[in-house]
Amino acid sequence: MQQTGTTYLTIAAMSEGFYKEKGSKFLAFAHPCTNEEDAKKIIQQLRKEHFQAVHVCSAFRFGSDKKKYRSSDDGEPSNSAGPPILGQLLSFDVTNVLIAVVRYYGGTNLGVGGLINAYKTAAKEALENATIIEQEDQYSIELHFDYNLMPAVMSIMKQASCKITDQQFELTCVLKFIMPLSQSSILEKLKDLDNIKVIEHGISE
């Protein structure tokens, strides 16, 4: 799958992985996620659902540039859990993904090497079970124009893969939408119309 410009690989929906060794169970959950606030909410929800688990270790990677990432050992020995999980995000080259691995302790210590293998294997299975898709960064755009411009505006927008997020059709209309960066030429056509205000809100998550 060849990526160009602002495209990147991510997962289409939540997926799961599982690993068991010496009684300890490792349940991995891979979630589509674009920011740290949402990641924290997902992890907190997992803690509530698995309140008897001893650890919820995690890693995330955000942005089409893949520059924002973090991992957590959540009380496991240093670098035995979070980094192996993060390593799978890097190996599969996906972003905008959170992987959290819930551990139920089985009564036998696995050692650092055993933990690294367990968290890595569970995270890997979660990504192997995921549907990996290609996505592209998108502009968030807001238009202000008179109602009589509606036919011209909609005619131009039909030329691109635009997703309308809000619309107000009155004497003065407001139209909000997102569209792929690769189709930014549509913006120039809209700006060429008389009496239209085009506001670019930048890249949308």
Contacts of 180-183 with CB under 8 Å at 24 or more apart are 180/136, 180/137, 180/138, 180/139, 181/5, 181/6, 181/136, 181/137, 181/138, 181/139, 182/5, 182/6, 182/136
Quote the number of domains for the chain. Answer: 2
Q: Which of 40-49, 92-101, 174-183 has the lowest mean pLDDT?
A: 174-183
Helix, coil or strand: residue 155: helix
Instruction: Among 87, 104, 134, identify where a domain stops.
Output: 134
Q: How confident is the model at residue 163, as a pLDDT?
A: 84
Q: Kindly state whether residue 2 falls inside one of the protein's structural domains.
A: no
Reduced to 3 states, what is the DSSP secondary structure of residue 54? Answer: coil
Residue 204 reports pLDDT greater than 80:
no
Please tell me the predicted confidence (pLDDT) of residue 2.
Answer: 39
153 plus 171 within the same structural domain: yes
| Structure tokens that stand for 68 in this block | 């924002």
Is 168 strand, coil or helix?
Answer: strand
82 and 97 assigned to the same domain: yes
User: pLDDT band for position 205 (50/70/90)?
Assistant: low
Give the tens place of pLDDT for each residue, 10-27: 999 999 999 999 999 999
Q: Is the model more confident about 188 or about 205?
A: 188
CATH number of the structural domain spanning residue 51: 3.30.230.30
pLDDT at 151 over 90: yes
DSSP run (H or E) holding 25 = strand 24-32
- Is 52 within the bounds of a domain? yes
Please indicate, yes or no, whether residues 120 and 151 belong to a single structural domain of this protein. no
Average pLDDT of the residues in 158-184: 87
Confidence of residue 181 (pLDDT cuts 50, 70, 90): confident
170 within domain boundaries: yes
Question: What is the pLDDT at residue 170?
Answer: 87
How far is Cα 32 from Cα 97, in angstroms, rounded to an integer? Answer: 5
More confident call, 184 vs 81: 81
> Would 42 be classed as within a structural domain?
yes
In the chain, what is the straight-line distance between the N-terminal and C-terminal CA atoms, in Å? Answer: 22
Arithmetic mean of pLDDT over the chain: 92
> Residue 138 has which token pair?
């998108």
pLDDT tens by residue, 57-115? 999 999 888 999 999 999 999 999 999 999 999 999 999 999 999 999 998 899 999 99
Residue 23 sits in which domain range? 7-134
1 within a domain of the structure (yes/no): no
CA distance 89 to 99: 8
Whether residue 149 contacts residue 50, with contact meaning beta carbons closer than 8 Å, is answered with no
Query: d(Cα 33, Cα 10) in Å, to the nearest integer?
Result: 9
Kindly indicate the confidence band of residue 161, based on its pLDDT and cuts at 50, 70 and 90: confident
Domain assignment of residue 184, yes or no:
yes
Integer CA distances (angstroms), 63 to 20, 93, 102, 150, 154, in order: 32, 12, 25, 34, 31
Number of residues that this document lists for the chain: 205
Token digits of residue 2:
């060849």
* Predicted local confidence at residue 185, as pLDDT: 85
Q: What is the pLDDT of residue 182?
A: 81
Q: Which residue has the tokens 């909609």?
A: 154
What is the per-residue pLDDT for 48? 97
Mean pLDDT of the 144-163 span:
90
